[in-house]
Amino acid sequence: MSEATCRRELDLEIPAETVQKAVNRVSKEFARVARVPGFRPGKAPITLIQRRFADDIKSEVLQSLVPEQVEKAVTESKLVPVTQPQIEKVDFAEGGPVKFRAVFEVLPEFELGQYKDLEVEVEDLKVEDADVDKGLEELRDRAATFVPVEGRAIADGDYAQLKLNGIPMGGGEPLEAESVLCHVGGEETMEPFNENLRGASAGDKKSFDVTYPADYPDAKLQGKTYTYAVEVLGIKEKKRPELTDEFAKDVSDAQTLDELRKKMRDNLEAARTHRQNEQQREKLLAQIVKGHDFPVPEALVEHQMDSRLERTVRSLASQGVDPRAMNVDWVALRNRQKDRSIEDVKAELLLDRIATAEKIEVSDEEVDKEIATLAERSGESATAVRANLTRQGALDRMKSKIRSEKTLDWLCSNSRTRTITKEN
């Protein structure tokens, strides 16, 4: 066991006497219902039952004794498991004790360092003309359309409209798509598509192999190599609308571009305080995390990586992009989230420990308020939202989130903030 990890291995033993009692008990249960040729139900000798159903009896004994022994050992060791213990190296000799190893991850043990009376610097977020211009450019991006390109080959940044047919090496179900868009040169696109489509023209046909990693999210593709036959149906590029009064009317309730600029500046000013508060919270939390060095459970990191990838997929879907139709190296995209996910897990563990130390709890009224907010957003009743959260096991997660937010607010009120002017 390494001290730098949260992995724990407990070598445990169940006394022979306890094991034998369990064997006898389970054997009698089998004898009552077992059908043995030559004997009426319940009349077969126990010794015969134990020989005939030896493996089944051992399995039942282990299932009845091992969890109890693990729970007892965990309690005595004052450990807090975050994963289901995996049982290894089982030694179950007849007439002897049962020996085994339980492997699991636990919450880390660490001492709280300084987390009060810290000082953070936040930028004086003045709203400049450049900020308004950036906001307008984002509106243009959201209002962009995909338009056909003619008379030239595919270049980086283009979207190739493809007809795909992929045949797996070694046999299997082919992958077919009549029309998908592939962002050539995009970071999210697997390199064989970039290499083979760059410079191609509409009407061209390409054939190339793509090997998927062993841990690719789609189980059907994991570790497989597909030979793709690709036909370029067309080339498209993002076309953004011009900044005109008509554009202002299309994307807002403003009647002119000048009015849209003013509304955008007003919105940016209104969000300024909120952004500075968020900046204070992020920097303060980052400072606290940096001041504490402890390992985190891999299982929690993996869960956080999955959550980050899921948020990316939801974001794409909200923009009208079908993630299933994108040639994205999802494994690489997920792996790039690991360092940030470790920081996220450390932050949550620290916030939980600080909340306990400062006796910060969540009231029923605060939970009701959050449920009412969710109900308003979803258009459902508060009762229905609460029922859904309870059924999904998400009510405790909600309380944990509220507690973390309250703790962050408490930390901000017990820290010092210095506003600095950002240098250009």
Q: d(Cα 248, Cα 261) in Å, to the nearest integer?
A: 9
Question: Where does the pLDDT of residue 2 fall: very low under 50, low under 70, confident under 90, or very high at 90 and above?
Answer: very low
Tens-place pLDDT, residues 163-200: 999 999 988 889 899 999 999 998 878 889 999 999 99
Tens-place pLDDT, residues 271-316: 888 888 888 899 999 999 999 999 999 999 999 999 888 888 888 7
Can you give the pLDDT at residue 141?
85
Domains 7-105 and 145-239 agree in fold: no
Residue pair 305/336 in contact by the 8 Å Cβ criterion: no
Tens-place pLDDT, residues 203-258: 999 999 998 888 777 777 888 899 999 999 999 998 889 999 999 998 899 999 99
How crowded is residue 411: how many other Cβ atoms within 10 Å of its Cβ? Answer: 24
Q: Angle at Cα 30 formed by Cα 27 and Cα 34, nearest 5°?
A: 140
Helix (H) / strand (E) element for 61: namely helix 54-77
Where in the chain are the domains?
7-105, 145-239
| pLDDT at residue 96 is higher than 70 | yes
Amino acid at 311: R
Among 3-7, 65-69, 169-173, 275-279, top mean pLDDT goes to 65-69
Domain at 7-105, CATH class? alpha beta
Alpha carbon distance, N-terminus to C-terminus of the chain: 50
Q: Which residues pair with 166 in a beta bridge?
A: 175, 228
For the structural domain made of 145-239, what CATH number should be given?
3.10.50.40
| pLDDT at residue 424 is higher than 70 | no
How crowded is residue 86: how many other Cβ atoms within 10 Å of its Cβ? Answer: 10
Can you give the pLDDT at residue 41?
67
| pLDDT at residue 103 is higher than 80 | yes
Question: Where does the pLDDT of residue 325 fall: very low under 50, low under 70, confident under 90, or very high at 90 and above?
Answer: low
Can you give the pLDDT at residue 308?
87
Residue pair 156/198 in contact by the 8 Å Cβ criterion: yes
Can you give the pLDDT at residue 393?
84
| pLDDT at residue 159 is higher than 60 | yes
Tokens 């400049």 identify what position? 128
Q: Which two three-digit tokens encode residue 372?
A: 């009412």
Q: d(Cα 45, Cα 51) in Å, to the nearest integer?
A: 10
Residue pair 23/47 in contact by the 8 Å Cβ criterion: no
Q: Which two three-digit tokens encode residue 62?
A: 């282990």
Can you give the pLDDT at residue 39?
72
- Comparing 2 with 256, which gets the higher pLDDT? 256
Helix (H) / strand (E) element for 103: namely strand 98-105
Tens-place pLDDT, residues 192-215: 999 999 999 999 999 999 988 887
Task: Give the chain's mean pLDDT.
Answer: 87
Q: d(Cα 58, Cα 304) in Å, to the nearest integer?
A: 38
Q: d(Cα 302, Cα 215) in Å, to the nearest integer?
A: 13
Q: Which two three-digit tokens encode residue 117?
A: 């009376």
Determine whether 248 is exposed, middle or buried from the number of CB atoms within 10 Å of its CB (0-12, 13-18, 19+): buried
